[in-house]
Amino acid sequence: MATITDIANQVRQHWLTQGPRAHPVARDEIVEAWRSLPGALPDEYETFLRIAGLPPDDDLRGFRFWWPKELRATADVLRDAGYPCNATEASVIIADFLQESWWYALWVTGPWKGYVSLVLGSYNGSDPQFPLGSLEDFLLAYIKDDDDVLCPKK
């Protein structure tokens, strides 16, 4: 089983094959941004950001990972977009696909803490949805362009 360190290195390589696109993320940037967010910063997420860095914009497929200063609580993002959110536990949007057509949230409290869910914001308040898998599972699916995991059919 690959560790988050191994996976973060794979994601970094994935971005570097698309050009010099991975910029470092400082730990203090992450910690500072997290102060206004719900829940605790998952260690795996911090490790991922520290090792992989982040590209400045969308990748070649239209996937974008959010910089720490952009991170927002899922409930706030859905509410601001005009959608209800019935989640009882907290999550934070960490990535989007096709210019925010699909949002991906990292759970930071409750039994799903450390897991990633697809957040469409287009269903009758049922978002965020059941987790796609752990952060590691999500990142591996991202590297492999695994649409069955990243964009499941409802």
42 belongs to a structural domain:
yes
Tell me what pLDDT residue 35 has: 87
154 belongs to a structural domain:
no
- CA 128/CA 125 separation, integer angstroms: 8
What's the predicted TM-score (pTM) here?
A: 0.88
Tell me what pLDDT residue 59 has: 87
- CA 66/CA 63 separation, integer angstroms: 10
Tell me what pLDDT residue 148 has: 81
Tell me what pLDDT residue 50 has: 93
19 belongs to a structural domain:
yes
88 belongs to a structural domain:
yes
153 belongs to a structural domain:
no
Tell me what pLDDT residue 15 has: 92
85 belongs to a structural domain:
yes
152 belongs to a structural domain:
no
Averaged pLDDT in 10-residue chunks for the chain of 154 residues: 90 88 88 86 92 90 91 87 76 86 88 87 57 91 88 69
Domain housing 57: 4-145
Instruction: Please give the full DSSP string across 47-92, using - where no structure is assigned.
Output: HHHHHH-B-SS--TTSEEEPPGGG-EEHHHHHHHTT-----SS-EE
Q: Which of 126, 128, 151, 127 is nearest to 138 (CA)?
A: 151
120 belongs to a structural domain:
yes
Tell me what pLDDT residue 13 has: 94
Look up the CATH number of the domain holding residue 136.
Answer: 3.40.1580.10
- CA 86/CA 139 separation, integer angstroms: 26
How many domains, in total, are found in the chain? 1
Tell me what pLDDT residue 6 has: 96
Residue 148 structure tokens: 């069955």
- CA 65/CA 79 separation, integer angstroms: 21
- CA 93/CA 106 separation, integer angstroms: 6
